[in-house]
Amino acid sequence: MRKIVVILVILIAAVAGIRKRTINIGIFLNDDEQYETSTIAIASAVRTINLYSKVEYLLRPHIFRTHKEDILKTGLLACSLLEKGIAAIFGPDSPEINSIIQSVSSSLEIPQFQTFWNPKLAFLASRQSPSEKPIQIFNLHPSPKSLSKALATLVRENDWKSYTILYENDNGLLRLEETLKQLNPNDPVVAFKTLGLPENHRSVLKEVKSSGVLHFILDCEVDHIMDILRLAKELKLLSEFHSYILTNLDAHTLDWSEFKNIRCNITAMRLIDPNSAHVKNAALAWNQNMRYNILDNLKNMAIQNELNYQRSRKQLDDIKPTDIRTKTALLYDSLNLFISVFSEMEKKGRVALEPLSCELNKTSAHGQLFSETLLKTNDTLLLEPLTGVITEFDQIGYRQIYKLQIIELEESQFRVTGSWNPLVPDKLNLTLTLEDRDTELRKKIQKRNFRVVSRLGDPYLMAIEETGGKLLYGNARFEGYAVDLMTEICKPENLNCSFTFDLVPDGMYGNFDPVTKQWNGIIKELLEYRADLGICDLTITYERRKAVDFTNPFMTLGINILYAKAVKEPPDLLTFSHPLSFEVWIYIATSYLIISLIMFLVARLNPNDWENPHPCNPYPVELENIWTFRNCCWLTMGSFMTQGCDLLPKGISTRLVAAMWWFFALIMTACYTANMTAFLTSSRMGSTIESAEDLAAQTKIKYGCVAGGATSSFFKDTNFSTYHRMWVQMESADPNVFEKSNKDGVKRVITSKRKYAFIMESSNIEYEMERNCDLMQVGNNLDSKGYGIAVPINAPYRKQINEAILKMQEMGILHTLKDRWWKQKHGGGQCTKDKLSDDAAATEMGLDNVGGVFVVLAVGVLLALLIAICEFLWNVRKVAVVQKLTPTEALIQELKFAVDIWARKKAVNKGISTSAISMENIDEQM
C-alpha cells in the first residue's frame, strides 16, 4: 500500500512537472571519497525542489567529476556548459580548478557558489573598483578572516602561552593570521613546522617532541589527521598533558574509535550540528534516495545514471549525520539558496536564461539581478539549511552569518563545549562551565592511580626493612613524610584517588646538564611522562619551573648553616680561681704577707699605736702595743675579704698603710668579680660563627653543600656579593667541600671537630638537630623557598592537588605531619631536654662550677681544727707541768672540760705566778 501511495505522488508530480520549464545548472565535484555522498545530496535536494508545489520550474543538474590536474579540461567543460544557458555554477572544491571557473563566472556574470575555504576571493574583489557591478561569486564557507578570528579566540580562551603550529601548506598560515596577530612581544615564540610529505611526518614530530611544547595547532586535510595522530601516539605526544586544536571543520566525521583511551585534549570546530533534527532528516532522505529506484527523479537522467553507476560498483552504506562533511552540506545549502533566490526573482517576472559563449564578450541577463536579489533578501529558504542562516553575504561574497560549534573529543565521540559567532568574534559562548569541568576532572581523578616518583631521604621517604623473610611490595616498601602526605591527599574528603611510589633510577633530584641539554632525576621522569607526580624534599627553583610545574609549597623553608656545638670541657675544681692567673694569685699572697709585715713594723715605730693598758690609771708605768704580727695579718685578711676587723690603727702612718691596702683590696675584688662574670659567660658561649658573613670572613672553618643541588645553584647564580664570595671559596677549596647527599654532609660536620660547616635546607637541619644534640643551626635563613610536588607541565590535576594542600594547611594537617616525622618518629625529640637545660644554664651554675669554693672551705676548716688540736695538746702539756700531773691525767682533765658545753668559766691554774704570766704576755707581744 505504501509503495502505491508513493507511486501516485510521483506520477502526480511528474504530470505537474510537464508544465514546468527546465533550469540548467552546472555542478563540478572533486573525484574523491565524498563524490558519491555529494551526488546523493544533490539528488535529494533536486528531487525535493522539483516536487515542491510552489516552484514553477524543474532543476536539471549537469554533474562533472573533476581532477585538480585537469584544469584545461574543466575550462572546456565549463565553456560547453554555457551554451546550454545555465543559470548558476556550483563548485568545484579544488582551488586549482576553481580559478578558471571563478574567472569564467566573474567575466560572464554567472552566479557561482563556492563551498571551500577560498582566500583568493578577497583578492578578486580588491581588483574591482567600487563603481563596477556586484560580483557573482558567493562563498558559503566561513571566510578566511573570520575563521582565523575564531581560532585566535579559541587559543586565547585556552590560555596557551606557547604552542607549535603544524601545517601542510601555506594556506594553514593564512588561516592562523589573526591568531598570530594577537601575540605580544613578550610572549613565548610560536614555532612553525611544515609537515611536508607523509614520509617526513615522523621526523617532524620527533623534532617537535624534543622541543617540549605541549600545545599544537594542526592544520591539514581531514584525510591526513588520523595518520598524523597515529604517529603522535607512537611518539607519546598524545598524553593527558598535550592539547591539540584541529582547524579542519570535518574532523568530527572521522572514526575516532582507535583513540578511545587517549587522555589528550583534542578540540575542533564544525559548521554542521549532526545532532540537529534537520541534519538527521536530511541523512534519512539521502539514504532513501540511495536505496529506492522509484524515488529517483524521472526527469533527471543525469542523476539517474549516476546513481545506477554507483549501485553497480558496490553496495552503498547508510549515510549517518556524523558522516556529512562540510562541503557536501554547503553544496546542499547552496542549491537550496539558489532556488530560493531564483524563485524570488520569478515572482517579479520571468527570468531569461540565454546561451553564452566563452569566446564572446557577452554577459548573462540574469546575473546582476540575481546578485542584487540575493544581497537584499532575508526571506526563509525553501528547504531547511544544514549549516544555519545563509541569506546574508558581504560585498566580497563571503557568508556573514553562521555559527561554529566548539567540540572536544571525549572517549571516541565529540561533544559540544561552546560556540563561536562571527558577530561577537572575541568571545566564546561556553556551554561547559569551569565548575562542570572541575566536576568531570574530579571523577576522572577518582578512577586513576597516580604514579609517584621519589628518592630515599630521611624523613621524606625511607625504605622499610623486610623482616621474617616477608617480601614487601608497592607502597608497603616505604614510609615517611611523602607517603603520609599522599595518603592525606588521596583521602575521600580530598581527591579520593590511589597512588604508587617508585624510586627514581639515578637517585637525583633533577638537574639540567648544559652540555647534553638533558635533565636527570625526578625532573627527567616527569618530562618523559614515566611518572605523574614527584614528591620529596624537591625545592621549587626557577630552572626546574621552566621544565615542569609545581603545586603550592607543602613546606616553607630556607637555606641555613649546620655546625657542630662546642665541646664542653669538664669544670675544673678550682674554677673560681680562673678569673685571675696563677701569677696574680701568687702576687696577691705575697702582697698580703708583705703588707702585714709592714703594718707590724710601722705600728712598732708609730708612738700613737702604743696605748695605756689601764685606762683608769692616768700615770701608767708601761704602754702596750696591740699590733702583733698575728693581729696585723688578721687586719689585712679581714680587709681583703671585705669583712673588716675589730682592731683599727690610730697612727697616721698605720692608717695610711691600711687605706692603701683597702684600696688595693677594693680594686682586686672588683676585678675578680667582673672577670668571673665574663668567664662564666664565655664558658657558656658556643660557636663564634653566627652568620654567613662570619663564615665568608674567615678561612679556618671550611663549608660546603650538596653538589649540583638547589643550594649550590643558589650560591652559583646569586648576585649578592657575600654569597658569591662564599661560592668562589667553596669551588676553590682543597679538599673538596661538596658532598653527594645531606647525610654525607651531616656526617662530615660531626667528624670534622668544628672545622667544617654544611649548608643545607633548614627543614633538614631541624630534622638532624632533633636526633643529634651535638649539632646546631647558625644564624637566620639565607633565603626563603618551598618544597612542592612536581607535575608535568599542563597537568590537569594540578589545581585539585593545590586545593587539597591548601585545605590541609588550614586544618593544621601539614604541621601535624611534620611533628610526627621530625619530633616523634625514628628518634626524634631526643634533644628537647638538652635545649631546656641549655636555657636554664644561662641563669644557673652547677656544683661543678663552684665545687672548688667548697673544697677551699673544707680545707680551711680542717686546717683550723688541726691547729685547734695542736693548741689544745700544747695547753695540756703546760697544765701537766704546772699542776704536776701526768700527760694522760692532764689530757683527760682538759678533755672533760672541753666537752662540757655548759661550762662558761674556767679556773686559772694556781701554779702559775702573776709575774710569770706578765712575762709570758710580754714575750707574746714581742
The binding site for L-glutamate comprises: 539, 544, 711, 761
Q: Dig out the grid coordinates for 801 from the structure.
A: 592537588
Contact (CB, 8 A) for 230 and 381: no
Contact (CB, 8 A) for 389 and 401: yes
Residues 6+ apart with CB under 8 A from 130: none
Over the range 209-242, which residues count as b (16 or more CB within 10 Å of their CB) and which as e?
eeeebbbbbbbbebeebeebbebbeeeebbebbb
Q: Dig out the grid coordinates for 677 from the structure.
A: 662574670
Q: Other C-beta atoms within 10 Å of 337: how many?
A: 26
Determine the Cα–Cα distance for residues 718 and 147; give it in Å rounded to an integer. 48
Q: Dig out the grid coordinates for 839 from the structure.
A: 636555657
**H runs (alpha helix) in 447-520:** 481-489
**H runs (alpha helix) in 550-608:** 582-605
Q: How many CA atoms lie within 13 A of 922 on its CB side?
A: 7
Q: What residue type is 834 in one-letter code?
A: D
Determine the Cα–Cα distance for residues 857 and 847; give it in Å rounded to an integer. 14
What's phi and psi for 242, nearest 5 deg? -95, 155
3-state secondary structure 389-413: CCCCECCCCEECCCCEEEEEEECCE
Q: What residue type is 141 in one-letter code?
A: H
Per the annotation, binding residues are 539, 544, 711, 761
Q: Dig out the grid coordinates for 391 from the structure.
A: 541569506
Determine the Cα–Cα distance for residues 164 and 166; give it in Å rounded to an integer. 6
Contact (CB, 8 A) for 20 and 57: yes
Q: Dig out the grid coordinates for 860 from the structure.
A: 680551711
Q: How many residues does the chain have?
A: 926
**H runs (alpha helix) in 606-651:** 629-640
Q: Dig out the grid coordinates for 59 from the structure.
A: 532543476
Query: Which of 339, 367, 342 lies closest to 109, judged by CA?
Result: 367
Determine the Cα–Cα distance for residues 241 and 415; give it in Å rounded to an integer. 20
Helix-strand-coil split of the chain, %, nearest 5:
50, 15, 35
Peptide bond into 422 cis (omega under 30): no
Q: Counting beta carbons within 10 angstroms of the beta carbon of residue 460, is it exposed (0 to 12), middle (13 to 18) or buried (19 or more)?
A: buried
Residues 6+ apart with CB under 8 A from 345: 351, 366, 369, 370, 373
Determine the Cα–Cα distance for residues 202 and 246; give it in Å rounded to an integer. 18
Q: Dig out the grid coordinates for 17 from the structure.
A: 512537472
